[in-house]
Structure 1
């Protein structure tokens, strides 16, 4: 973006005296106007959890529907909620799982609240108002940006040939990871990914080195080969997928690790270089551009140095709580904002695949995954597998309202503890 700066200069007037006469003094130059004072930009709003009133909570509860999630009953959520409870129980129960303005909660309190909701599922089809009678709704303010992700399918083989020649790598044997927090508290939670070359510690190979220069060739780290390099890139963006094998069978291919390099959005690269207008941006538009312009596709892909490594499995895809993700139910969150394992109500709109129109979506979803780009209030909805899921995820950028449901009984005990 090019900014314009106003240049203000001074005009110096020289009075020239001619021999035998004095010229008339010129009129003073008009004063240069002061630039208008620009108001200071508003301070970014700090995310806050605000309790919703009883009447509004009843209206919200009555508006919930499981139909946009392709479920037959609220009881269909039980396997996912049980998986969430298993994760919550594995955490230190007295430790704080969320500490944000308006809400401070321990893992034990979250466990009790989610367990009570699970015990209520069988009644909700006919009595949704129970979610307002037994739970307090905390609205996350401001609202969130909702995006989507999916499980891509790609043509692949477990052995290379003339068709399947683009490698998918497992975690390389020479990739090393160190927890920096073990060296100093200031680095708590940070990891360094590196390799050793001679007596030097070096950053791990980037995308250009791996795919362009063959940095991993001959090391034996390949686990499969794909037919399309663009498919490989989108698999890395999504983090997991399914391999459609030549014999008609398939394998899940799951996230194994990363090279530690910073992720760069090629969508932004394509916009900045003028290849795709911002208003046309979507995953489908990116894929079409890369397929139609192979001469520049490699350069564009190499602008993202981040690289993902995989592992093969018979089941998947798995989220961050190590449970299988459920389409239109599982969401990726920033765990510092919404604890993993939480049950939240999500109000937004999703594109109908057949009509292309946006349909209302107000359902209970489960915080079961995370993502490097999912920070603050932003959420990522797992859309499923296949073409319909890819289309939905590729176009999903909607504003959304998020409500965390907490048991009133738990809240009452929290108040008792505070006294």
Structure 2
């Protein structure tokens, strides 16, 4: 199948160009030779992850590529032949962060230790946008006694960060566990409590991490509670224990995501399911092909991505250290890439 299309696609595969969109964002079509470290990546690993979700893409050009991905023998050739690298910019500085699947201690019943609930989404939160703030939900007991609790956990700070991550595992006292995934939110914008600590002069920007925030809230329980209320956004969960333990949590495409190959993006700029080449700077530089399979309330912008690191404390430690610049380049089907240009290339 690849051979039948190769001649036609190679005729345009060396073309580049750029364009400006009406909303101020810009598009630049690059060559694969412009991607730093491209030749050294494991393209087969990226292709395997791409196959996990490409069948859910409904547009004809994506469906055709998914069909070809099923039986391609050369992963690098597949990406180079049928995609073009597109640099999308919106004027904001590029930013990479990391996320993970946390593991919390909890119970299916409330006890003196396990007293902080994880709620499923009430109907009125879906119907009224925005709905109650975090403070109003937790301070007034608006959801208490309605049977909306999935589980109770022992630490309000960990419950907060579970909402930031969007999914996690709850370890039960009998050794069993359940998994929860994102079900929706109250409609209020996400506000960073790390940035709020910086604004208050408590820390410098380079000092802030998830562990620093956790420790500060625990040392200052009253002020810490108020700090958590600074973020009006509140996330609701659903149980997804049907996902096998050896697989990753469900992302925005309702498929398991893969450590170090799945990223969360802003779907206003990057199509979910698309391959994305990242060149992350920082203490641990990273150059690899990822697949856009998730979203997040804090992930906004054309050059904004959250890298999924895996499950548990080690993954959390690694993810929490990431706050780096760089660039990300979306791989789009050739026809779709050139449709971004104002006119056909010469």
- On the 8 A contact 2:38/2:287 being kept in 1, the answer is no
- On the 8 A contact 1:332/1:367 being kept in 2, the answer is yes
Distance (whole Å) between structure 1 residues aligned to residue 111 and residue 204 of structure 2: 38
- The residue aligned with 1:343 is 275
5 Å matches for 1:8-407?
46-53=24-31, 55-56=33-34, 60-63=37-40, 65-66=41-42, 74-89=43-58, 107-113=59-65, 115-116=67-68, 119-120=71-72, 122-124=73-75, 128=76, 131-132=79-80, 135-141=83-89, 144-173=94-123, 175-178=124-127, 192-193=128-129, 204-314=131-241, 315=243, 317-349=249-281, 358-377=283-302, 378-406=304-332
Cα deviation for residue 172 of structure 1 reads 2.6
Q: How many residues align?
A: 314
**Which of the pair has the greater relative contact order for Cα pairs under 8 Å at 6+ separation?**
2
Deviates more, 1:396-405 or 1:381-390: 396-405
Cα deviation for residue 401 of structure 1 reads 2.1
Q: 1:324 to 1:291 in 2, by over 3 A?
A: same
Task: State the SS of the aligned residue for 1:366.
Answer: strand
Cα deviation for residue 206 of structure 1 reads 2.3
Task: State the SS of the aligned residue for 1:177.
Answer: helix
- On the 8 A contact 1:167/1:225 being kept in 2, the answer is yes
Structure 2 stretches lacking a partner, 5+ long: 1-22
Give the root-mean-square deviation of aligned CA atoms. 3.0
Q: 1:217 to 1:363 in 2, by over 3 A?
A: same
Cα deviation for residue 114 of structure 1 reads 5.2
Distance (whole Å) between structure 2 residues aligned to residue 411 and residue 257 of structure 1: 32
Cα deviation for residue 227 of structure 1 reads 0.8
Cα deviation for residue 418 of structure 1 reads 6.8
Q: Which TM-score applies when normalising by structure 1? A: 0.67
Cα deviation for residue 176 of structure 1 reads 4.5
Cα deviation for residue 229 of structure 1 reads 0.9
- The residue aligned with 1:93 is none
Distance (whole Å) between structure 1 residues aligned to residue 139 and residue 119 of structure 2: 14
Distance (whole Å) between structure 2 residues aligned to residue 413 and residue 260 of structure 1: 34
Deviations along 1:153-194, one digit per CA (max 9) or x if unpaired, are: 110011111211111111235x2434xxxxxxxxxxxxx43x
Distance (whole Å) between structure 1 residues aligned to residue 33 and residue 190 of structure 2: 44
Structure 1 stretches lacking a partner, 5+ long: 1-44, 67-73, 90-106, 179-191, 194-202, 351-357
- On the 8 A contact 1:78/1:118 being kept in 2, the answer is no
Which one has a bigger Cα radius of gyration? 1
Q: Which TM-score applies when normalising by structure 2? A: 0.80
Cα deviation for residue 152 of structure 1 reads 1.0
Q: 1:158 to 1:55 in 2, by over 3 A?
A: closer
